[in-house]
Amino acid sequence: MSELRRRMLADLRIRNYASATQDMYIRRVRAMAEHLGRSPADLSREEVRDYLRLLSEQGASRSTFAQVVGALRFLYAITLDRPEMVPDLPYPRETRRHPVVLSPEEVVRLLNAMANLKHRTVAMVLYGAGLRISEALALELRDIDGDRDVITVRHGKGDRDRQVPLSGVLLTTLRTYWRAYRPEPFLFPGKDGQGPMGKGTIQKAIRTARVRASIAKPVTPHVLRHSYATHLLEAGTDLRVIQILLGHGSLKTTQRYLHVATERVRSTVSPLDHLASELNTTA
């Protein structure tokens, strides 16, 4: 491991960046160094900008481009103490897209199409508690509190812990699952039993179930989380409460669900309707 890599990794850990973010930032910086054949500490602003232009020309996705910029901003502003480099590293403009949301009927069809109890239980946690896939797979038995009807999420984004409600239906399913598998300590262990199940296993199971259920929309673990949030909003749950349940750091992130909560839109009564009894409709 190079000295620069050790310094950057130490800086990330001191600032309590998630381990996945640490790994991703290190990979992005290493990829640039390998491509240019030089240490990032020796590069000029123009050389870094040329590298970013190359990524754009090669069709790098917005998320990939943003990861590279985030990694380089940290490297130059924090580890190398060269803040003059940062203004030349702009994030790509965000494309606003409404999240894909399943209807309640589609959620039922998807879950019923999952024959494997373990995979189905994970999917029910994703939808029933609104967890990210990484959060669901990191759950341990101690995180399920059936007496208080809460799930403790200990590995949330930004390493923030939170608690979410544990529904009665989900608790019943979890008990059935536990009796069948007896997992320990992870709720959803991988094949070796030493760590949690891999994300790819659930992603594949959900894709297969989508086909079996004849659902035209793309379905991923995150779509189940989107659906949880949107269905809560349509049921009248306050947006601030949804923000807390999802573990969003900003209410702005949660507000995007306002655009897809069709039931809330359809149920909104126009102020004109309140005047109906007083209006002269014969004119």
Give me the residues paired with residue 151 across strands.
Answer: 144, 164
Q: For residue 225, indicate whether it is catalytic.
A: yes
Are 81 and 113 in the same domain? no
Q: How far apart are CA 273 and CA 167, in angstroms?
A: 37
| CA dihedral for 157, 161, 167, 172, sign (positive or negative) | positive
Per the structure block, which two tokens stand in for 159?
């390493």
Q: For residue 127, indicate whether it is catalytic.
A: no
- Encode pLDDT of 4-57 as tens digits: 999 999 999 999 888 889 999 999 999 999 999 999 999 998 999 899 889 888
Residue with tokens 């310094």: 7
- Encode pLDDT of 218-238 as tens digits: 999 999 999 998 898 888 888
Catalytic annotation, pick one of 157, 162, 256, 264: 157
Flag whether 113 is in a domain.
Answer: yes
Triad 88, 91, 97: Cα angle to 5°: 160
Are 11 and 147 in the same domain? no
Sort 273 into a burial class: Cβ within 10 Å, 0-12 / 13-18 / 19+. Answer: exposed
Q: For residue 274, indicate whether it is catalytic.
A: no
Catalytic annotation, pick one of 132, 210, 226, 231: 132
> What is the extent of the structural domain holding 77?
3-88
Q: For residue 132, indicate whether it is catalytic.
A: yes
Catalytic annotation, pick one of 30, 49, 82, 222: 222
pLDDT beyond 70 at 197: yes
Are 33 and 138 in the same domain? no
Q: Pick the more confident residue, 252 or 187.
A: 187
Flag whether 96 is in a domain.
Answer: no
Flag whether 258 is in a domain.
Answer: yes
Catalytic annotation, pick one of 28, 225, 226, 231: 225
Catalytic annotation, pick one of 49, 248, 256, 264: 248
Residue with tokens 């209410």: 251
- Residue 60's CATH number: 1.10.150.130
Q: For residue 157, indicate whether it is catalytic.
A: yes
Are 57 and 156 in the same domain? no
